[in-house]
Amino acid sequence: MQFAKGLKAPCPHGVRWRYSWGSIVFVIDIVVAGAGAATQGRPNGRCANIDFERLSFVLMIGCDGLIMGRVRHTFVPDGPAANDDSDWRETIGRDMQQGLTPGDNLKRTRELVGYVPRSLATPQTYQALGFKSGLEIHQQLLTKAKLFCRCPAGLYQGPGEYDAELVRHMRPTLSEMGEYDGTALMERKTKKNIIYRIKNETACTYDVDDTPPFPINREALGIAVKIALMLKLNIVGELHITRKQYLDGSIPTGFQRTAIVGIEGSIPLSTGPVRIIQLSIEEDACREVSDSGHWRVYTTDRLGMPLIETVTYPDMKTPDAVAEAAHYLRFLNRSSGLVRTGIGAGREDVNVSITGGTRVEIKGVAHIRWIPELVHNEAFRQKALLTIKSILAERISDPNAWKVSVSEVDAGGLNTDYAPILHAQQLGQRIVAVTLPKFAGLMSFFTQPGHMFADELAGRLKVIACLERPNMLHSEEAGPVERKAFEVCAASGSTAESNSEDAVVVVWGASEDVTTAIETIEERCRMAMGMGVPNETRKSLPDGTTIFERVLPGPDRMYPDTDSAPIPIEQDVIDACGLDLPASVEDQMAQLGEWRIPRDTYHYLLKRRLVGLIGRIAAEFQCRPRFVGTLLGHTLKHAEGKFGASQKFDIERIYELFAFASERKLEWAILPSLLTTAYQFPAMPFESVLAAVGYTPIPAERISARAAVLQEQFERIRTSPDPGARARWIMGQLRPDALGNMPLPELRSMIESVAAHV
């Protein structure tokens, strides 16, 4: 067997060899367990020639990046062989005292978690994790006015453009069922000042919660019912406006007015049906301008715009299936022709969980193409947190008795050049060292690519304690600067209570915020022991990872809107909305298949709602649908990519272009050139477009006649022995003349027949 390259790396109390053979990876660890004492003071990895109590060999076999199995054999002198990987876990943290760097710990824990990049993951990877994902698709509706007031919808204010500001705070209130929501209680701790920037044109006293709601926008409700019918949902008899609490300030009332239009349906995906939970109509939230410390700023232009939210069951079992479902729902919404398009008009929230994990919501994903990477990483983040949980379960016998200990650091006496600490010193802020008993080795525990468990704490400190990042230092910092700064602080704070089994976190800030920070750290660590994966809403980052946004709200945040009476949805309304429903996405895809249009065009054709146009052109001008579909799906898409999609090009011009070509009896083959030019110059008359692509009318006989001349010419200049070269060269010479005058296949067969006579 030929191994590509054996990679040798130190591993805890031993040596690791990694071999890859094709896509199969073998990892062999030689672990000298119990050697902690024996190797004290020695460079890591030196394990030869020492007496051992136990010697373990671990063989890990992976395929396609997935660790398929791990075989361990442990030699124990005069004892039975053990067969588990608990000592793997046991070593974490302990070896950090013996020189294992946090960077190495990160790599090692990444392996322990079994993380593989998405490119190497297979459906089995996700099956093994117990991956489940559901979607919430938000789609703005194309209406003139907002949902509960008569402000114009779709007008946005530029940066720094506003007429007035006002400040509010949010307090949690009870749900209808008499409970406080978890998010609500978290937001109470954060003590944020919320600033709204108002523009008179786009916001009224309703938007800033100084006037009760006006009757619901019937235009928006009609669109929502229509799309609910397209999804074949059960339409409710009566719309009940409900308040969904949002204490982050994104809505000045502190809640979003929302109502269920329909429930229970399903959409067909290539991997099987995905069930729909519900479709609701709701008002959009403010746009966030900034969020720093205790101040969060929003603009109110987008606030109150009507949107629908379609929620699926967690029926998607792979990241690609999530993206497919998102595309399907997006196409369906767009096929109504009654929704907004463009940046921010459609947004996705993605829910992810794995076996033993918890539902985590990744919020406001702007592009569907980002979804697969985000959910992949979230699945492994949950796996990592569950691994941490099991390690803690072994270390801590009574989690209820676990608590942090805090020591004040003498801020003035610190001698450091670490900028954030210097800044804290200048402001006379409070600095504390928080000891997390038994957490050694976990701060630098892998959670997501480029992230470790310490980031879970830092993320919460930013949101809950309002401490801007960098907002903490910890005992397993990878960077030398941070490491040094941490040591200075830890030495000053009397962390005498902490020992090698513990981790230490240093935080600084205003005294009250530091108190909140300590509570936040303790709470997050308890969650690591308890539920393992906390219920969270997380914000997506462009690199496919996520950060903490807030505690995931539950049904307890729902409350009936006492300002609005229920609105009956009578059968005649449903009948009227159901009159002119567009073909379903499923039917449109079937149609494209029937027309034998290339699959790679489907996405574009559905997104731009071009399926109907293909049918119209094909029927009207006796043209093959496959040709029209390819023209739109390839040529038009290419032109958009080249000249920009923002061109003022009316799609209806394509129909007119076909009419023009038909009237002028042009051969269809010229249409790609015409379309490209017509797209580039949207106002140019078709006659000029025709001239611009170099068309002159030439009768087919004249072209045939030229073929004979070229035939002779080719013989004189011929350099290639390839028998097909002649026909190709002549074709190349005649193509510009033939384009529009004769069908290209006809030209080719004519040239070939001429060539055959030579």
Partner 1 sequence: MSETLKGYKGDGLAVLEKFHVRIWSDAVVKTTRGEFKGIILPRSENDDDRHVVLKLITGYNVGIASETILDIKEIGYKEAHYKIPEKEFPVSPGKPNVKLLGTGGTIASRLDYRTGAVIPAFSPGELYGAVPELAEICNLSTEKLFAVFSENMGPEQYITLSKAIAREIENGIDGIVIGHGTDTMHHTASALNFMLQNSPVPVVIVGSQRSSDRPSSDAALNLIHATKTAAESDIAEVMVCMFGPTSDEYGLLHLGTRVRKMHSSYRSTFRTIGDIPIAMVSRNAITPLKDTYNRRRKDRKVTLLPYFDERVAMVYYYPNMHRDMIDSLIDNGYRGIIIAGTGLGHINKPVYPAIRRAAAEGVAVFMTVQTLWGYVHMSVYDTGRDLMAMGIIPLANMLPEVAYIKLGWALGQTSDIAKVKELMLTPVCGEITDREPFNGYLIFQGGIPEVEDFLRKYHK
- Chain contacts with partner 1 (rule: CB under 8 A): 162-178, 180, 184, 195, 200, 205, 208-212, 233-240, 242-245, 247, 252-255, 258-260, 263-264, 277-278, 280, 311, 554-560, 562, 565-566, 568
String of DSSP letters for 67-116: EEEEEEEEE-TTSPPP--SHHHHHHTTGGGGGT--HHHHHHHHHHHHT--
The answer to whether the peptide bond before residue 568 is cis (omega within 30 degrees of 0) is no
Is the CB of 416 or the CB of 584 nearer to partner 1? 584
Alpha-carbon distance values, 306 to 197, 222, 243, 288, 377 (Å): 20, 11, 15, 18, 32
Is the CB of 68 or the CB of 263 nearer to partner 1? 263
Contact 359, 160 (CB under 8 A): no
* Token duo for residue 208: 């800033």
CB neighbours (10 Å) of residue 580?
8
CB of residue 123 vs partner 1: minimum separation in angstroms? Answer: 29
String of DSSP letters for 510-573: SHHHHHHHHHHHHHHHHHHHTTSS--EEEEE-TTS-EEEEEEPP-GGGEEE-TTS--EE--HHH
Contact 593, 628 (CB under 8 A): no
* Token duo for residue 168: 């509010």
682: β partners? none
Is the CB of 288 or the CB of 746 nearer to partner 1? 288
* Token duo for residue 728: 């190709």
Is the CB of 169 or the CB of 624 nearer to partner 1? 169
Is the CB of 363 or the CB of 381 nearer to partner 1? 363
Sheet with strand 193-198: strands edge to edge: 164-168, 193-198, 295-299, 287-292
137: β partners? 310, 348
SS3 574: helix
CB of residue 41 vs partner 1: minimum separation in angstroms? Answer: 55
Is the CB of 565 or the CB of 590 nearer to partner 1? 565
Q: Give the Cα separation of 534 and 551 in Å (integer).
A: 8
The continuous run of DSSP H or E covering 18 comes out as strand 14-21
Is the CB of 303 or the CB of 589 nearer to partner 1? 303
Contact 442, 93 (CB under 8 A): yes
* Residues belonging to the chain: 758
242-245 vs 255-269, strand pairing mode: antiparallel
SS3 349: strand
CB of residue 278 vs partner 1: minimum separation in angstroms? Answer: 7
CB of residue 566 vs partner 1: minimum separation in angstroms? Answer: 5
Is the CB of 173 or the CB of 429 nearer to partner 1? 173
Is the CB of 166 or the CB of 289 nearer to partner 1? 166
Contact 474, 490 (CB under 8 A): no
CB of residue 159 vs partner 1: minimum separation in angstroms? Answer: 15
Is the CB of 185 or the CB of 619 nearer to partner 1? 185
CB of residue 131 vs partner 1: minimum separation in angstroms? Answer: 23
Q: Give the Cα separation of 524 and 404 in Å (integer).
A: 11
Q: Give the Cα separation of 521 and 516 in Å (integer).
A: 9
Is the CB of 174 or the CB of 645 nearer to partner 1? 174
CB of residue 221 vs partner 1: minimum separation in angstroms? Answer: 14
CB of residue 229 vs partner 1: minimum separation in angstroms? Answer: 11
CB of residue 270 vs partner 1: minimum separation in angstroms? Answer: 26
Is the CB of 47 or the CB of 184 nearer to partner 1? 184
Q: DSSP class of residue 413?
A: G
